[in-house]
Amino acid sequence: MSAYLSLFRIRFLHNLQYRTAALAGLATQYAWGFMRLLALRAFYAENPAAFPLTFAQAADYVWLQQAFLALYTMWDYDPDIIESVRGGHIAYDLVRPVDMYARWFATTMARRVARAALRCAPILLVAFVLPDPMRLHLPASMLAFALYVLSTMLSVGVASALTTLVYIAHFQLLNFSGLRLMVAAVVDMLSGFTIPLPFYPQALQNVLNLLPFASMHDLPLRLYSGHIAGMAAVQGVALQAFWLAMLLLVGHWWMGRQLQRVIVQGG
């Protein structure tokens, strides 16, 4: 456990050093949040009735999405892990007494959480003091907030598990940047990054809500503002937990099989 904590600490310090990069990244996120919201506002002005959320809920969605982007994004991959698979150093890593899957999963989570921890405060701060209705609002209720927090933790788990699966897939091929790109693009579409899931046609939503991708990103953002509440909320969280468990199991099993191959073939 302390090993994993120190992984977190290293990541945090590492990120802290690059102040200009941090500022630039912040600026980018503000811009993205703003522009997305402005676009949604234009559509809202067009026809408020057709808007599936209240505008306030949409604002919450967009700002929380930006603030905690690092937790959910599928565009960020640890180059060290990828290199260790491609370059064949994986054999050396096996010498250390840590469960490989757990190590990758923990590193991935630490990376996401550390980045999000650094980024979220400034974004949340600004988002809170913006003028209505573009601002971030307080959560719909204490219960909503509690569910949101729980759901976010599960989300990070799901996202990390998915990312780890992608890493494991690298055992199969030599040059995999194409796969990562495809995965990121597809997941973006299916998880609510491109536009929030509520904007999709209802029929499609029904399917998407069952997939792990919605669990990864869309759900907590809607729990916060109370867009999903009551029984639906509890069901959503339960589904997340289910997906997390599934992905962990599959990942662990698949990793085991790949490592077997490596040991047998010598990398």
* 86, amino acid identity: R
To another protein, the closest distance from the beta carbon of 237 in angstroms equals 26
| CA proximity to 182, closest of 168, 166, 196 | 166
Q: Name residue, tokens 């640890």.
A: 78
Dihedral sign of CA atoms 83, 85, 89, 90 in order:
positive
**Residue closer to another protein, measured from CB, 4 or 199:** 199
Amino acid 139 reads P
User: Could you tell me the sign of the dihedral formed by the alpha carbons of 27, 121, 192, 135, in that order?
Assistant: negative
To the nearest whole angstrom, how small is the minimum distance from the Cβ of residue 203 to another protein? 11
Closest approach of another protein to the CB of residue 13, in Å:
6
Residue 93 tokens, joined: 């890593």
49 or 95: whose CB is closer to another protein?
Answer: 49
> Are residues 158 and 247 in contact, defined by beta-carbon separation less than 8 angstroms?
yes
Nearer to another protein, 151 or 191 (CB): 191
Smallest separation (angstroms) from another protein to the CB of 69: 13
Nearest CB to another protein, comparing residues 51 and 101: 51
Nearer to another protein, 178 or 266 (CB): 178
DSSP string across 26-95: HHHHHHHHHHHHHHHHHHHHH-GGG-SS-HHHHHHHHHHHHHTHHHH-SS---HHHHHHHHSSTHHHHTT
> Is the Cβ of residue 35 or residue 250 nearer to another protein in the bound state?
35
Closest distance to another protein from the beta carbon of 227 (Å): 16
Contacts of 33 (CB under 8 A, 6+ apart): 62, 63, 65, 66, 123, 127
Burial-class residue 153 by CB neighbours within 10 Å (0-12, 13-18, 19+).
Answer: middle
Q: How far is the CB of 19 from another protein (least distance, A)?
A: 5
| Site of interaction with another protein (CB under 8 A) | 13, 16-25, 27-28, 31-32, 35, 38-39, 42-43, 46-47, 50-52, 173-179, 181-182, 184-186, 188-189, 193-195, 199-201
Least distance in angstroms from the C-beta of 232 to another protein: 21
Q: Which is nearer to another protein, 98 or 195 (CB)?
A: 195
